[in-house]
Amino acid sequence: MKLKINWEHKRVKHAIERMWLRGVSVKDVEEAIMKGKKALQRDTGLVQALFNRYSVVYHEKVYRKFNLRKVFPVTVKVH
């Protein structure tokens, strides 16, 4: 399934600021989403991908008809 990260969504500005402050690149975010351990936040419905020293919180939409996963990053956390 193909992964597409939408960097133009209204909530992504916060994620980009957090990435800049924490020294996390776009490639690091993609790697965390693809390879990280996933945890669902039940109260918000967001997904948290834990990877190495950081985690990425995002909203995900799956379009099976087009074989596409569309991801909307919300924030980046460092552990």
CA–CA gap between residue 43 and residue 41 (Å, rounded): 6
- For helices 12-22 and 26-35, the axis angle rounded to 10 degrees is 110
Burial 36-58 (b: 16+ CB within 10 A, else e): beeeeeeeeebbbbebeebbbbb
- Domains annotated for the chain, with CATH where assigned, are 2-78 (3.30.2310)
pTM: 0.87
- Length of the chain, in residues: 79
- Using CA atoms, how far residue 58 sits from 2, 26, 70, in Å, is 16, 14, 10
pLDDT score, position 11: 74
Model confidence pLDDT, tens digit, residues 13-33: 999 999 999 999 999 999 999
Check residue 20 and give its pLDDT: 94
